[in-house]
Amino acid sequence: MPYFISGVTADHQNLIARTPAQFKSMNDIDVKTRHRVMAIDPAGHTVTVRDLQTGHEYLEGYTRLLISTGAEAFVPPIEGTELEGVFTLRRLTDSLRIKRYLADARPRRAVIVGAGPIGMEMCESFATLGLEVTVMDLAGQVMPYMSPDMAERVQARIEEEGVSCLLEQSVTAIAGDGGAVRGVVTSNGEIKADLVLLAIGVRPVSGIAADAGLELGARGAIRVDEQMRTTGEDIFAAGDCATTTHTITGRQVWLPLGSTSRKQGRACADNMFGGETRFAGVQGTSVVKCFDLTVGRTGLGEAEATEAGFSPAVISIEAESLHQYYPGRGTMNLKLIADGGSGRLLGAEVVGQISSVAEKRLDVLAVAIDAGMTADHLQYLDLAYAPPYSTSVDIPVIAGNIMTGKIRGMECGCGPRGLD
């Protein structure tokens, strides 16, 4: 949706994965839109449905039920969120509303509340459209799920693009004039705004599950097991409304992401039809493009690793994606986290120029972490080398060299630019 708003994606129809008509014609699946499930009766194996067009309510029976209610944007309980020009960005209709407002009201100053991934994408989107952009966050850094030094690189880059960052800001209200937004009120005063985007986060839509007596779990999401079964008989849940397991810590977590939803949905469908498919969980991999930077992470951060009982060893490197003789290379920063005792890889963070293909190195590390590899093993990965694609020793291998040296207590190591 950020790309539809900025115009990179021309037609919002392309954002619709499948229409109700396509569900019917391709798979003979009936999709009832404008119908709301009011209640679930697990004992009776029925749901109460209201047809929103007619107001008619009726019971519908099920053999097995899937709850895939997703998540919704969190709107903070402050004054002014209903003002014209104040938006969240979660549903396709939100982006249509924003796009219409941009065209009609011609706002000049946009304030984005929340410097997470959506906030970062929207900084680029609004700046591309020529708006004066301010992003603010309660935290002392942008992208609070990255480590502070990596986040600083992102902040420096978006500031270069003219975005103002206001950190450690608590928004106390949205101020308006005549029903339209005028500014964002913080403990430090009012910031002028013609458009406010609340990008504070999302919450699972789990009320209907709770009302039916199903157990909720992490962050209020619907608790499911590895087969996506809720605590209700014959009731499954998948996607942004459901919990999952962190594969490194083994803990129940709620990490709603489209890529996870797709995998949960697939496993869930298999199990609903009698399969025995287990979805082991996630390790918190994510990536976001922000201007010409690729910003991503996988696994545990240093603080999370400590909290989970590991003794993390951390290294940071800056490296070029290609040898200097081949054009088009980019610089990327990589932080690698391993257990200082066993050498087991725990997490990685990248901030790189788009041209550095940092997402490749991130995915390589994500698989290595998933596999339980050690830093020592990383040194010998047989990755694909040719000058247009990498240096002869690619960045994950260099990171493995340096981390292994660090863990073994060596005083010098071989850095990306040669022997130290």
Rule CB under 8 A: say whether 288 interacts with a copy of itself.
yes
- Binding-site size for a copy of itself (CB under 8 A) equals 74
Residue 414 binding a copy of itself, by CB under 8 A: yes
Residue from 69, 88, 141, 294 in contact with a copy of itself (CB under 8 A): 294
How far from each other are the two terminal CA atoms of the chain, in whole angstroms? 45
Exactly one of 98, 115, 197, 362 binds a copy of itself (CB under 8 A); that residue is 362
What does R_g of the chain's alpha carbons equal in angstroms? 24
Contacts of residue 327, defined as CB under 8 A and 6 or more positions apart, other chains included, come to none
The residue among 43 and 371 lying less far from a copy of itself, judged by its C-beta, is 371
Min dist CB 217 to a copy of itself, Å, is 19
Which amino acid is located at 155 in the chain? Q
Structure tokens at 203: 């919450």
Task: Kindly state the tokens that stand for 89.
Answer: 């960005």
Q: Name which of residues 317 to 346 contact a copy of itself (CB under 8 A).
A: 323-327
**CB of residue 119 to a copy of itself, shortest distance in Å:** 14
Residues within window 61-80 making contact with a copy of itself, judged by CB under 8 A? none
Report which residue type is found at 160: E
Q: What is the DSSP letter of 15?
A: G
Identified binder of a copy of itself from the candidate list 119, 204, 256, 284, rule CB under 8 A = 284
C-alpha separations of 241 from 14, 34, 61, 100, 357 in Å: 24, 20, 22, 29, 32
In sequence order, the β-bridge partners of residue 295 are 288, 351
Whether the Cβ atoms of residue 307 and residue 317 lie closer than 8 Å to each other? no
Query: Given candidates 217, 256, 296, 347, which one binds a copy of itself under the rule CB under 8 A?
Result: 296
Quick check: 219 binds a copy of itself (CB under 8 A)? no
Binding of residue 266 to a copy of itself (CB under 8 A): yes
How far is Cα 209 from Cα 217, in angstroms, rounded to an integer? 11
Residues 17-56: x where in contact with a copy of itself by CB under 8 A, - otherwise, as a string: -x-------xx-----------------------------
- The 8-class DSSP code of residue 214 comes to P
- According to the binding rule CB under 8 A, does residue 93 interact with a copy of itself? no
Among 135, 199, 305, 357, binds a copy of itself (CB under 8 A): 357
Q: Tell which one of 21, 43, 103, 371 touches a copy of itself (CB under 8 A).
A: 371
Alpha carbon of residue 265 to chain centroid: 18
- Tokens 């939100």 — which residue? 94
Beta carbons of 164 and 133 less than 8 angstroms apart: yes
Match 């954002």 to its residue by tokens.
15
Q: Which of residues 245-264 bind a copy of itself (CB under 8 A)?
A: 247, 257-263
Residue whose CB is less far from a copy of itself, 50 or 266? 266
Rule CB under 8 A: say whether 289 interacts with a copy of itself.
Answer: yes
Closest CA to 248 of 282, 278, 225, 221: 282
CB of 51 to a copy of itself, least distance (A): 28
Shortest Å, Cβ 13 to a copy of itself: 9
Q: Give the shortest CB-278-to-a copy of itself separation in angstroms.
A: 9
